[in-house]
Structures are given as C-alpha cells and as structure tokens.
Amino acid sequence: MTRVSFFQEGKLFTGFRAEGHTGYAPAGSDIVCAGVSALLQSTVIALDELLGIPVELKTEKKTGLFICRLPAALTGEQQEKADLLFRSAYLGLLRMANEYPEHLRVAIKGGAKDAEAF
C-alpha cells in the first residue's frame, strides 16, 4: 500500500511524503502506482519550472519514499501558489484513494513536527 501525507502549516500545504508500493499490479503495469507518481512528479515539476521554487526532495526507489518540502524563505504569494499545486495533487490522490482503498491512503498532517527530517 502507498501512503501519502500532505504537510500543512496553518491553512497552507507545505509538502508531502509518499511511501510504499501500491501492490495493485506487477511493476510496470500498476496503474495506481503510475497515477500516484504522475500526480506527485507533476507537482514537483510545476513548483520548480512554473513557480521557480527549489523544493527539498528525498527519494528512495526501494521503499517508494518520495518527500517534497518547500524551503522556509518564500513570499506569501509563492506559498499561496504552491498551496494550490499541492491541493490539486491532494484532490486527485483522494479521488484515486476512494477508487482503490486497499492500495492507496491519503492524509493531511499538521506542521513541521509531522514532516520527518531528511
């Protein structure tokens, strides 16, 4: 199962942590895994290329770990735009989790205390 937690500071999303393998189908033909990967990777690409925000990333292929966090020094406008991208991914993943509850869980966690350090 893949678990995705979105980090939230106040009302704004500040990152996510995904871990695990969905187990829906063998590697290379797992549509749930492909959907999760596409949404999260698109979010990271948009943060970088559209908003110019150099996010902090950590990945581990073996465990399926994928962590993305915003840097501390952002303007209010950057934070709001980043929040919109994170919320878009969250809503897409939530819809997928409703369709494949045995393979995907999505949650919101509060603040930095829930965002495991690199």
In this predicted model, what pLDDT tens digit does every residue of 46-88 receive, in sequence order? 999 999 999 999 999 889 999 999 998 899 999 999 999 999 9
Nearest to 33 by CA among 46, 48, 18: 18
All structural domains of the chain with their residue ranges: 2-114
Predicted confidence band of residue 111 (pLDDT cuts 50, 70, 90): low
Q: Does residue 80 sit in helix, strand or coil?
A: helix
Q: What is the DSSP string of 26-75?
A: STTS-HHHHHHHHHHHHHHHHHHHTT----EEEEETTTTEEEEE--S---
Whether 118 has a pLDDT exceeding 70, the answer reads no
| CATH code at 2-114 | 3.30.70.1490
DSSP state at residue 83: H
Considering the entire predicted model, what is its pTM? 0.90
Residue 112 confidence (pLDDT): 52
Residue 27 confidence (pLDDT): 87
In this predicted model, what pLDDT tens digit does every residue of 3-27 receive, in sequence order? 999 999 999 999 999 999 999 999 8
Q: Write out the two tokens for 40.
A: 């999260």
SS3 content of the chain, % helix, strand, coil (to 5): 40, 30, 30
